[in-house]
């Protein structure tokens, strides 16, 4: 399809700059229309969620319609049909025109909003603790407060695919043990559970009854939304763990999740190793203090990325990927440690910055040269 469009565009508009806009509008109409309309009616998918491009399709259709009417208007004998088409196409808009100046109803004071109340309580009562939230609370989780959550509220482009599986099994699986195992494995300290009578709009938690009696309630809004404490040896995302036991578990899948998560949680929540304290200095830097014995490592329940670097007394500390959950494992010798970790800008990002800056400079030079020629 792309090759055909390029070939036709070349034949129609090569060395014809006055046809550039027509080619652009036609291309938008064909490509966006194919993505959205063909996806909705035929199940055709190229990439991503095509249904989210419906607003863009509306804009493209406006451009296509205006360009089509412009070309019809250039022909004297087609002007009347053009006017008729414009009237027909604008008839559905009469409903909007009648209500064009109608304001959206006010949602009321901020303090009375469901999402604000839940996130405010978390910010005041669980500062810095990782919380699993779903639905509209998840969407608005960091709108007013700097709260820590399990996956950042969006699963698109997620580096750690364990988070996708976790979200599904926590919210929808019938096994009542899976939510606890996943929440413990992911270093989550509390969970927001909205019941069927809550003010939550989406009700992602399909089995809220699984949490009653199994978890300690921390907060109840009185309208079927409860924040529960996740049972863990201590809060936070740092753990001192037995490295060999961790490496022997293997990957978690949908089929083996109960068995593998049980083994993983046994290692992570083992009370025998000393504690590891993690304190964030910024979104891209944290400190770790821990006492490590022989055969032990430090687990940071944060997704591994090669750009994370750790240092102790100016010396690099090796970071490897947790083979089970894709978190970070710091391999350190026995003893007391005070480690500083930071996310360093990847090489490809630095190259991209140089290319972008060079492009802007080149564009500025070309514009200045064109001005000089004009004057």
Q: What is the DSSP string of 1-12?
A: -HHHHHHHHHHH
**What does each C-alpha distance from 341 to 159, 186, 282, 295 come to in angstroms?**
19, 20, 11, 22
156 touches 150 (CB < 8 A): no
CA distance 44 to 111: 44
User: What is the per-residue pLDDT for 373?
Assistant: 67
Nearest partner of 331 among 276, 292, 279, judged by Cα: 292
User: What is the per-residue pLDDT for 44?
Assistant: 79
User: What is the per-residue pLDDT for 204?
Assistant: 92
User: What is the per-residue pLDDT for 374?
Assistant: 63
Q: Check residue 254 and report its DSSP letter.
A: T
Q: Is 159 helix (H, G, I), strand (E, B) or coil?
A: coil
39 touches 50 (CB < 8 A): yes
CA distance 352 to 228: 44
User: What is the per-residue pLDDT for 52?
Assistant: 83
CATH fold for domain 111-229 = Rossmann fold (3.40.50)
User: What is the per-residue pLDDT for 173?
Assistant: 95
Nearest partner of 189 among 136, 227, 239, judged by Cα: 227
User: What is the per-residue pLDDT for 29?
Assistant: 92
CA distance 187 to 236: 7
User: What is the per-residue pLDDT for 40?
Assistant: 82
Strands 130-132 and 148-149: parallel
Task: Look up tokens 């750009």; give the residue.
Answer: 307
The burial class, CB within 10 Å (0-12 / 13-18 / 19+), for 41 is exposed
Can you give the pLDDT of all 375 residues of the chain as single tens digits?
778 888 888 888 888 988 999 999 999 999 898 889 888 888 877 777 788 888 999 999 999 999 999 999 999 999 999 999 999 988 988 888 888 787 777 778 999 999 999 999 999 999 999 999 999 999 999 999 999 998 877 777 788 989 999 999 999 999 999 999 999 999 999 999 999 999 999 999 999 999 999 999 999 999 999 999 999 999 999 999 999 999 999 999 999 999 999 999 999 999 999 999 999 999 999 999 999 999 999 999 999 999 999 999 999 999 999 999 999 999 999 999 999 999 999 999 999 999 999 999 999 998 888 777 666
User: What is the per-residue pLDDT for 375?
Assistant: 62
User: What is the per-residue pLDDT for 84?
Assistant: 94
User: What is the per-residue pLDDT for 39?
Assistant: 84
Ranges of each domain in the chain: 2-98, 111-229, 238-346
CA distance 326 to 160: 6
Nearest partner of 268 among 243, 301, 239, 293, judged by Cα: 239
Helix or strand holding residue 239 (H, E):
strand 238-242
């Amino acid at each position: 399809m792309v090759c055909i469009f390029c070939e036709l565009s070349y034949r129609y508009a090569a060395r014809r700059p006055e046809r550039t806009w027509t080619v652009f509008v036609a291309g938008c109409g064909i490509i966006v229309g194919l993505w959205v309309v063909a996806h909705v009616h035929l199940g055709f998918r190229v990439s991503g969620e095509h249904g989210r491009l419906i607003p863009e399709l509306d804009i493209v259709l406006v451009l296509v319609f205006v360009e089509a009417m412009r070309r019809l208007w250039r022909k004297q004998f087609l002007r009347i049909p053009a006017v008729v088409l414009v009237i027909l196409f604008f008839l559905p808009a009469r409903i909007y025109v009648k209500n064009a100046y109608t304001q959206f109803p006010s949602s009321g004071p901020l303090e009375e909003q469901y999402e604000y109340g839940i996130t405010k309580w978390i910010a005041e009562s669980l500062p810095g603790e990782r919380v699993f939230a779903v639905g509209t609370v998840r969407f608005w989780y960091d709108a007013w407060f700097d709260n820590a959550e399990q996956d950042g509220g969006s699963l698109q482009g997620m580096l750690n695919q364990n988070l996708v599986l976790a979200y599904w099994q926590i919210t929808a699986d019938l096994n009542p043990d899976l939510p606890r195992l996943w929440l413990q494995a992911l270093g989550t300290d509390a969970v927001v559970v909205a019941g069927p009578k809550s003010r939550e709009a989406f009700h992602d938690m399909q089995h809220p009854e699984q949490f009653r009696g199994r978890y300690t309630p921390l907060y109840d809004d009185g309208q079927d939304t409860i924040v529960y404490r996740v049972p863990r040896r201590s809060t936070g995302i740092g753990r001192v763990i037995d490295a060999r036991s961790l490496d022997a578990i293997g990957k978690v899948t949908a089929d083996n999740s109960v068995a593998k998560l049980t083994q993983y949680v046994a290692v992570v929540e083992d009370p025998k190793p000393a504690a590891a304290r993690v304190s964030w200095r910024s979104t891209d830097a944290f400190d770790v203090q821990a006492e490590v014995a022989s055969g032990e490592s430090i687990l940071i329940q944060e997704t591994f990325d090669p750009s994370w670097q750790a240092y102790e007394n100016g010396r690099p500390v090796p970071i490897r990927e947790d083979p089970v959950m894709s978190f970070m494992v710091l391999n350190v010798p026995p003893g007391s440690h005070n480690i500083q970790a930071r996310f360093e800008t990847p090489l490809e990002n630095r190259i991209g910055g140089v290319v972008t800056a060079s492009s802007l400079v080149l564009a500025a030079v070309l514009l200045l040269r064109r001005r000089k020629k004009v004057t």
